[in-house]
Structure 1
Amino acid sequence: HRTGPHSKEAYAELEKQDARIGRILEAIRRAGLEARTSVAIVSDHGFMPVEREFHPGVVLAQAGLVKFDPSGRIVEWRAAVWSNGGSAAILLRDPSDEVARETVRRIFDDWARRPGSPLLRVIEAPELERLGAAPTAAFFLEASDFCAFGGDYRGEALRPARPNYRGTHGYLPDRPQMFASFILWGRGVRRGARAPVVNMTDIAPTLARLLGVELRAPAYSRPITAFLEPSHVEPSDRARVSSVGVLMAQPASAQPRRISSAAMDRPFRRLGENGAKLP
C-alpha cells in the first residue's frame, strides 16, 4: 500500500519472499520429504497503482445528504459511504427514501460522465444482487484505473494520492490487475499444467483433494482437476471436512498474528538440519 506495485520496495519484498520459499524447499529436500510433500503458493489479490483519491462522502455532503455541527461532527445523514479501496458501497439510512436514492444516482452518474472521471462505473442494486456483493447497498462505485476511494466527508472530493498510499485493491475481481497467483508443486500435482485464470473459490477444494480429504464445499467451489495427477482426481474416504467449520475457525474480529522473520526461520532450519517431520 505504501509504495505501490512495481516499486523498488515491492520488488525487494518479492526477493525476500522468494528466498524464504527457497529455504523451505531446500529443507524439504534435505529432510527427504519431497515425495510426500505438496507445496501451494497463493496470493489473495492483485494490486493497482494509485495516483488519485476520490472521496464520495464529500460529494454526498455537498448534495446535502450529510450534515455537520459547527465542530465538523456528522449530526445527520441520509446516505453514507463504505469505502473498500477500489470500490465503495453507498448506503441509504432509509432504503425507502426515493428522493435520496435519486439524488445519489444523479450526482454519481454525473461524476462518471466527466472526462477523466475517477469513477469507472456506478452499479445499481439489481446488478449487485447478481454479482453477490454488498446486499445492503443502494449503489456500488468502482474506481477508474490508478484511482482509489477515500472515506472523508469534508475537503476536496478529488485529490492527489497521499505519499504513503500508492497502491490498493478492492476493485471488482474481473479487473486483470486484481488477478492473484496460484502455484502448485510436488506430490499429486500434474507437471507442467497451466490455466490462464481459475476461480479463487476452487483453491481450497483443490488443496483438500491433495491432502486426501473431502471438503464439503458449496456447489460453486470445485477442485481444479487439470492441476492434479489422475490418482488425486477422485476424493479419498479417509476424512471429511466441513467448509462451515473452516469458515468459523477464526472470529471476524481476530487480528493477524505477527511473526518475526527469525521465528519463521527456526522450524525450517530444524527441519533441514535434523530431518524432523513437518510440524
Structure 2
Amino acid sequence: MRVSAKLPCLHDLPTVMSRFLHRCAFLSFLLLSLAACTASPTRPAAPATPLLLVSIDGLRADALGRGDTPVLDRLARDGVHAEGMRPSYPVLTFPNHYTLATGLRPDHHGVVHNSMKDPQLGRFVVADAQAATVAGWWQAEPLWTTAERANLATAVWAWPGATAARDGILPRQRQAFDETIPMDERIERVAGWVTAPQGPRPALLAMYFEVVDGAGHDHGPHAQQTRAAIREVDTAIGELLSRLEQAGVVPNVVVVSDHGMADAPNLIAVEDMAAMEEAEVVSIGQVIGLAPREGHEATVRARLLGRQQRYECWEKPAIPARLHYGTHPRIPPIVCQMAEGWNALPRAMIERRDAAGVHNAGAHGYDPDLPSMRAVFLAHGPAFRTGMRLPVIDNVDVYPLLVRILGLPLRQGDGDPATLAPVLASP
C-alpha cells in the first residue's frame, strides 16, 4: 500500500511550527532526564564473579566432614579440596596470613613472628593495633594493593596487614580487627560492600574469622566449645554466600586457614631455658627467640643449642633448610622450637595465669610438617573444576592462584604457579 505525504499549506505553517516546537521541548525534557539518570551515583560496571577469600584462623584440615561444617563440606565436595595445607614457618597467625597475601615466606616478607623487634621500628606484638598500621613491618606488597594499583576495587575485613598503607594505598573498603563486632553484623556489613548500589563492587573481598582459634586455645582443638565456634563460622559463611546469591553475585570462593591446632597442656618457664641476665627473650610461646647478651654468647649457646627433651634450638644459619627461615635480620640469633604440646612462657606470666585459673589447652606454632598443624584449602566457583581432590599443598602456592583469577601480574615469589594451575576450569 502506498502512502502519500500531504504537504502543509501556508496557512497551516503556524500550527505546524507550534507542534514542532512542542516536540522539541518534549525531546529536550527526555534527554535531560536521561542525563540526570546517568549522572546519579549508581554502581559502575563490576566483575560478575568477584573473588571471595576467607580465612578461618586455627581451623585444622581434619575438622571438615565431622558434622560441624555443612557449608564448607558442600563447597569442598562440589569444588576443589586439598587433603591439607602446609603452613609456613613459624606456624603463627600474622606470618602465615601475610604469606597467603603475598606468596612469600615470612623470612622474605618481614613478618617473622607474632612478636618481633626491629632496630628502627621497635617492638611489634599482635595485640598492638597501632603497630599493625606501620607499613615498615610489612615488607612485601599484598594482593589487595596489587589489585588496587590495577584499578580493581578491594574490600578487606580484619586480615592482618590490611590496615597498613603501602605507597599510600589501602583497600577501598576495610575494617580493622575488632572481636567485639557480632557475627551477624560482620556478615551484614561485608555483604553490603558487595551489594550496595553506590560505589565500585569489590573484585577482591577478603574476610578473616578469629573465633575458632580463640576457642582452640582456650579449650583445645577437639572440645565442644571449639566445635561450636566452627559451626558458628560455617553458618556465617553460608549466610554471606546466600546474601550474595540473592543479589545475583556468584563469587569464586577460596577458603583457607593459617594453621591447625594441637592439644598443648604443658608449660615450661622460659627462664629455665636461659637466664634473663644472659639473654634477651624476643619471643615466647612455641617459637622462642633469644638474643644472648654481650659477654654471655658462649654460655647461652652451650646451654641451648641442639635437641633437648622439650625443645630444639638452633643458631640462625643452622635452622633446617626445610623451614625456609633464618636470613631476615629481625630473626634473633637463637631460635628454639618447642615440642608439640609444650609452651614456654615467663615464670611471672605462668604464676599470674595459675592464680586466675587460666590454662590454655591448645596451641599452634609447632613443626609445620605435623598433621595437627595442617591448614585448610578449598575452592569453589565458576573459575574452578568440580569434585577435584588434591594432596597436601604448600601455602605459598595459594597466592599465584589468586593473582591469576584476578588477572593480575605475578611477581617473583616463593610459590610455584604450576601447583594449583590444574584446579582452574580453564587452565
TM-score for both structures, normalised by structure 2: 0.43
Match of 2:314, as an amino acid? Answer: I
Instruction: Tell me if structure 1 keeps the 8 A contact 2:270–2:284.
Output: no
Match of 2:325, as an amino acid? Answer: A
| Whole-angstrom distance in 1 between the partners of 2:249 and 2:295 | 58
| Whole-angstrom distance in 1 between the partners of 2:374 and 2:414 | 22
| Whole-angstrom distance in 2 between the partners of 1:219 and 1:165 | 34
Does 2:278 correspond to 1:78?
Answer: yes
Does 2:256 correspond to 1:42?
Answer: yes
Name 1:9's counterpart in structure 2. Answer: 225
Task: Give the one of 273, 287, 299 matched to 1:59.
Answer: 273
Name 2:127's counterpart in structure 1. Answer: none
Tell me the secondary structure at the aligned position of residue 39 of structure 1. strand
| Whole-angstrom distance in 1 between the partners of 2:287 and 2:294 | 22
TM-score for both structures, normalised by structure 1: 0.63
The structural deviation recorded for 1:189 is: 0.6
CA RMSD of aligned residues (A): 2.8
Does 2:304 correspond to 1:104?
Answer: yes
The structural deviation recorded for 1:176 is: 1.7
The structural deviation recorded for 1:30 is: 2.5
Tell me the secondary structure at the aligned position of residue 244 of structure 2. helix
Instruction: Tell me if structure 2 keeps the 8 A contact 1:86–1:148.
Output: yes
Instruction: Tell me if structure 1 keeps the 8 A contact 2:304–2:313.
Output: no
Aligned pair in 2 of structure 1 residues 42, 95: CA closer, same or farther (>3 Å)?
Answer: farther
Tell me the secondary structure at the aligned position of residue 32 of structure 1. coil
Tell me the secondary structure at the aligned position of residue 214 of structure 1. coil
Instruction: Tell me if structure 2 keeps the 8 A contact 1:5–1:48.
Output: yes
Task: Give the one of 108, 116, 122 matched to 2:313.
Answer: 122
Task: Give the one of 149, 162, 187 matched to 2:382.
Answer: 187
Could you give the per-residue CA deviations for residues 49-101 of structure 1, whole angstroms, max 9, x where no partner exists? 1111112323322xxxx3xxxxxxxxxx3323333432212322249933442
Tell me the secondary structure at the aligned position of residue 225 of structure 1. helix
Name 2:424's counterpart in structure 1. Answer: 228
Could you give the per-residue CA deviations for residues 226-265 of structure 1, whole angstroms, max 9, x where no partner exists? 2212x2x3xxxxxxxxxxxxxxxxxxxxxxxxxxxxxxxx
Instruction: Tell me if structure 2 keeps the 8 A contact 1:81–1:91.
Output: yes
Name 1:88's counterpart in structure 2. Answer: 288
Tell me the secondary structure at the aligned position of residue 273 of structure 2. helix
Aligned pair in 2 of structure 1 residues 181, 84: CA closer, same or farther (>3 Å)?
Answer: farther
- Structure 1: gaps spanning 5 or more residues: 67-76, 234-279
Aligned residues: 202
Task: Give the one of 386, 389, 395 matched to 1:200.
Answer: 395
Instruction: Tell me if structure 2 keeps the 8 A contact 1:55–1:149.
Output: yes
Does 2:335 correspond to 1:140?
Answer: yes
Tell me the secondary structure at the aligned position of residue 194 of structure 1. strand
Moved more, 212-221 or 165-174: 212-221
Moved more, 213-222 or 171-180: 213-222
Instruction: Tell me if structure 2 keeps the 8 A contact 1:124–1:138.
Output: yes
Could you give the per-residue CA deviations for residues 26-47 of structure 1, whole angstroms, max 9, x where no partner exists? 223323333xx20111111111
| Whole-angstrom distance in 2 between the partners of 1:202 and 1:95 | 43
Instruction: Tell me if structure 1 keeps the 8 A contact 2:384–2:423.
Output: yes
| Whole-angstrom distance in 2 between the partners of 1:47 and 1:97 | 34
Tell me the secondary structure at the aligned position of residue 89 of structure 1. strand
Q: Please give the residue correspondences for 1:169-188 in structure 2 after superposition, counting only pairs within 5 Å.
A: 169-188=364-383
Name 1:24's counterpart in structure 2. Answer: 240
The structural deviation recorded for 1:152 is: 3.5
Aligned pair in 2 of structure 1 residues 193, 125: CA closer, same or farther (>3 Å)?
Answer: same
Q: Please give the residue correspondences for 1:231-270 in structure 2 after superposition, counting only pairs within 5 Å.
A: 231=426, 233=427
| Whole-angstrom distance in 2 between the partners of 1:97 and 1:123 | 13
Aligned pair in 2 of structure 1 residues 149, 20: CA closer, same or farther (>3 Å)?
Answer: same
Runs of 4+ in 1 over 6 A off after TM superposition: 153-156
| Whole-angstrom distance in 1 between the partners of 2:274 and 2:412 | 41
The structural deviation recorded for 1:129 is: 6.9
- Structure 2: gaps spanning 5 or more residues: 1-216
% identical equivalent positions: 27
Tell me the secondary structure at the aligned position of residue 180 of structure 1. coil
| Whole-angstrom distance in 1 between the partners of 2:227 and 2:219 | 11
Aligned pair in 2 of structure 1 residues 195, 84: CA closer, same or farther (>3 Å)?
Answer: farther
Moved more, 24-33 or 178-187: 24-33
Does 2:225 correspond to 1:33?
Answer: no
Does 2:413 correspond to 1:218?
Answer: yes
